[in-house]
Amino acid sequence: MNALALSAVCQAVRPGITTRELDRIAEDVIRSHGGVPAFLGYPNPDPFGPAYPATINASVGSELVHGIPGKRRLREGEIISIDVGTILDGYVGDSAVTVPVGAISTEAKRLLEVTEQALRIGIAASRVGSRFGDVSASIQEYVEAQGYNVVREYTGHGVGRDMHEDPQIPNWGKRDRGAPLRAGMTFALEPMVAIGSPDLYVKRDGWTVATTSGNLCAHFEHTLAVTDGEPEILTL
Ligand code: MG
Ligand code: MG
């Protein structure tokens, strides 16, 4: 159902639409299927910061995550990262994509392809016999071999009845380290990739995270389950 909301938003992305309109689309899909938006009212990491006021994260251009939907109209050539979380029957789904607004530059297109491929590689590594360090390292090694950098401040995470459970799963790491993966574990992998420096800052709205360099960045995420065979993507 989280996937339905995310795909409805992606289909609506076009020049001229506002990020608030995208937010309404996601909220309508989630609520009409009996779900609850997981991000709405989410506490700020800063104890004095505002709770999250919307259903989706809509992060444009050099913004990476936690962009608050609003009056901003998308423009041809931009990229937008949409992150959606849903609570249904007491369990959370969390997934994200970065998509083009109309025609985008070759550079931006390649960034999206590499980040999505990094997620596929992380998922493929998520099997019994691996450790979390293997999953993290597989993402980092691929991204860096493509000439990009992984973000350090935000990570994948366990997902269950709560959106953010242990363990944290960074997009960098060392092989043969960390806990071994076991069948039945559920977690979100979310490669976040920047062109140039991956340093980030939080904008004055208290939520929106963007690259300090102003360079483009991208984010792809799925929630998955480890099984005795192929990993199962729960947010497809
Ligand atoms: Mg997410
Ligand atoms: Mg997540």
Distances in Å between the alpha carbon of 219 and those of 95, 131, 140, 157? 10, 23, 14, 14
- Residues 10 and 85: their CA atoms lie apart, in Å, by 15
Query: Residues 71-129: pLDDT tens digits?
Result: 999 999 999 999 999 999 999 999 999 999 999 999 999 999 999 999 999 999 999 99
| Distance (Å) from CA 155 to ligand 2 centroid | 8
CATH for 2-233 (3.40.640.10, 1.25.40.10, 3.40.50.10490, 3.90.230.10): 3.90.230.10
pLDDT of residue 199: 98
Length of the chain counted residue by residue: 236
Ligand nearest to the CA of 39: 1
Domain positions in the chain? 2-233
Ligand nearest to the CA of 86: 1
pLDDT of residue 119: 98
Q: Provide, rounded to the nearest whole percent, the portion of the chain with pLDDT above 70.
A: 100
Name the amino acid, one letter, at 217: C
- Residue spans of alpha helices (H) in 125-217: 132-145
pLDDT of residue 152: 97
SS3 227: coil
pTM for this model (two decimals): 0.97
pLDDT of residue 207: 97
In the predicted model, residues of the chain with pLDDT beneath 50 are none
- Residues 3 and 11: their CA atoms lie apart, in Å, by 12
| Distance (Å) from CA 58 to ligand 2 centroid | 14
pLDDT of residue 51: 97
